[in-house]
Amino acid sequence: MTATAERRAPARAPQQSPAERPAQRRRRSGHRARVWAGVIVCILFMLPLVWMLITSFKLQRDIFTVPPTIFFDPTISQYIDAWVNQGLGPKMVNTVIVALGAGLVSLVAGAMAGYALARLRIRGAATIGVLILASRGVPPIALAVPMFLVARTLGITDTHITLILAYCSFVIPYVMWLMRGFFLALPKELEESAMLDGCSRMGAFFRIIVPISAPGLISTFIFSIILAWEELLFALVLTNRKATTVPVAIAGMVGDTEHGANWGALAAAGMLTVIPVVVLALFVQKWLIRGLADGATKG
């Protein structure tokens, strides 16, 4: 056999010992089991959303058929009813304003607090962070009534700014804890080099740390919006008409008719509430995944 033929001969795969084959089969079986478990969990989580989507296109008479109908004449009358008759349009605008406002204020305050706990030499910084995070364990109803009394005294009930500040009370601890983990994952030499070149501590934070932490800031901002988007109790207590949000509107749709709740309009309102969050998450999916991966290194 010539040298050319030897070079063209395919390389043989390394032979596996009999002891390695059962281990490899177990790894493959475990991988398949994890994949199927993930698929089943996804189906279980998606089933209510799919059912709500189907219900939103049904007439009231088709919703309560036994057994449930799979084939029916779809209609968008439930969406028209929810958007126009139930006044969901203005409440959606209120929800967007409050969620974005609470997310921005919480991101600024929480990021700076997280940076202080991660970098500054504060005695008991870890304990302070745990206590701030533990404040989220306080029942919201314990804060809603005092907030209402303060807002009524100041004459700012049923306003966007009141609801934004109320939402910041439970969003800021969440942002602070997440951003503290992001900042701990960054080397201290970045700020030290900037300060040696003449930057102040705040200058190094805004010029060096903030651009590097952009994925973490974006992912935290998205989660903050979601937290504020779905909140009900504070909006129910602190608003009446002008700043009412979508969760309050949906809660008011239950049992507001003579024959019970209009489940079709409720399903349509639920889909109109879910769609903006899903679209936002898909739009920033790359940044969201990158931010979660970067923040998983320390915390």
CA dihedral sign, ordered 118, 120, 124, 127: negative
- The reply to whether 16 falls in a domain is no
- The reply to whether 11 falls in a domain is no
- The reply to whether 198 falls in a domain is yes
Identify the band that residue 290 occupies on the pLDDT scale cut at 50, 70 and 90: low
Nearest to 208 by CA among 232, 224, 192: 192
Q: Does residue 106 carry a pLDDT above 90?
A: yes
The residue type of 180 is: R
Please tell me which residue, 12 or 274, carries the higher pLDDT value.
274
- The reply to whether 39 falls in a domain is no
Identify the band that residue 234 occupies on the pLDDT scale cut at 50, 70 and 90: very high
- State pLDDT tens for residues 244-269: 899 998 888 875 555 567 788 888 98
Nearest to 170 by CA among 246, 238, 98, 228: 228
Give this prediction's pTM. 0.79
- The reply to whether 72 falls in a domain is no
- The reply to whether 281 falls in a domain is yes
| Spatial separation of the C-alpha atoms in residues 254 and 236, rounded to whole Å | 14
- State pLDDT tens for residues 24-53: 777 788 888 889 998 999 899 889 888 888
H/E stretch holding 89 reads: helix 88-119
Identify the band that residue 102 occupies on the pLDDT scale cut at 50, 70 and 90: very high
Domain that includes residue 209, residue range: 87-295
* Cis peptide upstream of residue 67 (ω within 30 degrees of 0): yes
- The reply to whether 129 falls in a domain is yes
Residue 92, both tokens: 């959606």
Q: Does residue 181 carry a pLDDT above 90?
A: no
Q: Does residue 70 carry a pLDDT above 60?
A: yes
- The reply to whether 260 falls in a domain is yes
How many separate domains does the chain show? 1
For the chain, how are helix, strand and coil distributed in percent, rounded to 5?
Answer: 75, 0, 25
| Spatial separation of the C-alpha atoms in residues 96 and 229, rounded to whole Å | 8
